[in-house]
Amino acid sequence: MNKDISTPIRTKAILEKYKFSFKKSLGQNFLIDSNILRKIVDQAELGEDSAAIEIGPGIGALTEQLARKAEKVVAFEIDQRLLPILKDTLSPYTNVKVVHSDVLKADVNQVIKEEFKEGQDIMVVANLPYYVTTPILMKLLTENLPVRGIVVMIQKEVADRIAASPGTKDYGSLSLAVQYYAEAKNALIVPKTVFMPKPNVDSAVLHLTMRKEAPVEVENEDFFFEVIRASFTQRRKTLWNNLINNLFSKEKKDQVQQALEKAGIEGQRRGETLSMEEFARLSNELILYK
Ligand code: SAM
């Protein structure tokens, strides 16, 4: 087997050979710990026939570990300077394709159609650039991609918010937005020391399993998420206050009250106490008055 790209010595040698300088604006913190990389890949439970999509391969540390497990890996990299480096570091792996693109602008569905077999088991596995974690996750979740799940290293604080349960301080619109599409769990906490350069924040590996069906019945998804966002606008205010201040005008007070009663939800509660099921019930009643 080839020597790991991710050892600190090899990483330094690669960076020096290509005179590569990190771009903070692209969230470039490379992993330099093979153990952590293997743990991330284990989370994805890839079989010999599986495929993997990576976002931001950097110099290929995670890509390499994925290539050893999966049948095929497609990696999206925005930074042109990394392309010749990846060509070099990943040359032993014939099952990797690097796509030079901003993943937020890429047609991922089309790439999947072109690069993978029909019906193939596909996982997204990445050490995400922290400056765009949420937009990337929301893109992956909402574009109806035929993937089994997503395993990503992200800022610990964001992972905590995503996997949070009702009634906790971390629970909010991001928890609901993600958990509507996937089952979320925090798989691993990762120290700053495994990155080069070291980030300022702690990291965690988030494990998302895509849902086959929506967990609640909502009449209008956009409105459901509008109700959720409005309910968390001022966390310390009651549900009632947030709905009246951020979604409905004062003239509709009676209707909002009626909708709350029909949904069986006390307006004096705070948004953070409502389960997804309750938000679904509430939005299905409120939509009558929008
Ligand atoms: N996977 C490598 C590792 O673990 O060592 C690098 C991870 S580093 C945190 C994030 C990578 O994402 C960088 O290579 C960066 O250039 C790339 N990147 C940043 N924004 C991107 C975007 N919008 N689309 C694709 N790649 C992006």
3 part of a folded domain? no
- Nearest Cα residue to atom 18 of ligand 1: 56
93 and 73 assigned to the same domain: yes
Using the structure block, give the residue that is written with the tokens 């990394």.
Answer: 82
Ligand 1 near 103 CB (within 6 A):
yes
- The radius of gyration of the chain from alpha carbons, rounded to an integer in Å, stands at 22
Dihedral sign for Cα 9, 14, 17, 23, please. Answer: negative
127 and 13 assigned to the same domain: yes
278 and 134 assigned to the same domain: no
Domain end marker among 183, 210, 237: 210
118 and 244 assigned to the same domain: no
> Which amino acid, one-letter code, is at 86?
L
Q: Which pair of structure tokens corresponds to residue 73?
A: 């890996």
User: Are 283 and 227 within 8 A, CB to CB?
Assistant: yes
246 part of a folded domain? yes
Q: Which pair of structure tokens corresponds to residue 23?
A: 């771009």
Q: What is the pLDDT of residue 266?
A: 98
Q: Which pair of structure tokens corresponds to residue 7?
A: 């050892």
pLDDT for 237 beyond 80: yes
CATH number of residue 59's parent domain: 3.40.50.150
Mean pLDDT over 24-51 rounds to 97
Q: What is the DSSP letter of 3?
A: P
251 and 191 assigned to the same domain: no
1 part of a folded domain? no
Domain end marker among 210, 241, 266: 210
159 and 184 assigned to the same domain: yes
Q: Ligand 1 atom closest to Cα of 37?
A: 4
Residue 95's H or E segment, with its range, is none
pLDDT tens per residue across span 159-206: 999 999 999 999 999 999 999 999 999 999 999 999 999 999 999 999
The interface predicted TM-score (ipTM) is 0.99
CA-to-CA distance for 57 and 79, rounded, in angstroms?
Answer: 10
Q: Is 102 annotated as a binding residue?
A: yes
Instruction: Please report how the helices 221-231 and 239-246 are oriented relative to each other, as an axis angle in degrees rounded to 10.
Output: 120
238-256 burial, b for 16+ CB within 10 Å, e for fewer? bbbbbbbebbbeeebeeeb
pLDDT for 241 beyond 90: yes
DSSP 196-224: ESPPSS-EEEEEEEE-SS-SS--S-HHHH
Q: Give me the domain span that covers residue 279.
A: 221-289
pLDDT for 4 beyond 90: yes
Ligand 1 near 57 CB (within 6 A):
yes
Ligand 1 near 172 CB (within 6 A):
no
66 and 191 assigned to the same domain: yes
pLDDT for 227 beyond 90: yes
230 and 181 assigned to the same domain: no
Q: How many domains, in total, are found in the chain?
A: 2
pLDDT tens per residue across span 249-266: 888 999 999 999 999 999
Query: For a pocket test of ligand 1, which of 79, 132, 133, 200 has the largest count of ligand atoms closer than 8 A to its C-beta?
Result: 79
187 and 226 assigned to the same domain: no
Tell me the average pLDDT of the chain: 97
Q: What is the pLDDT of residue 250?
A: 84
Q: What is the pLDDT of residue 220?
A: 97
Mean pLDDT over 212-240 rounds to 97
31 and 103 assigned to the same domain: yes
pLDDT tens per residue across span 71-117: 999 999 999 999 999 999 999 999 999 999 999 999 999 999 999 99
56 and 161 assigned to the same domain: yes
User: Are 259 and 282 within 8 A, CB to CB?
Assistant: yes
Ligand 1 near 58 CB (within 6 A):
yes
Half-sphere exposure at residue 41, Cβ-oriented, CA atoms within 13 angstroms: 24
Q: What is the pTM of this model?
A: 0.96
Q: What is the pLDDT of residue 249?
A: 85
205 and 234 assigned to the same domain: no
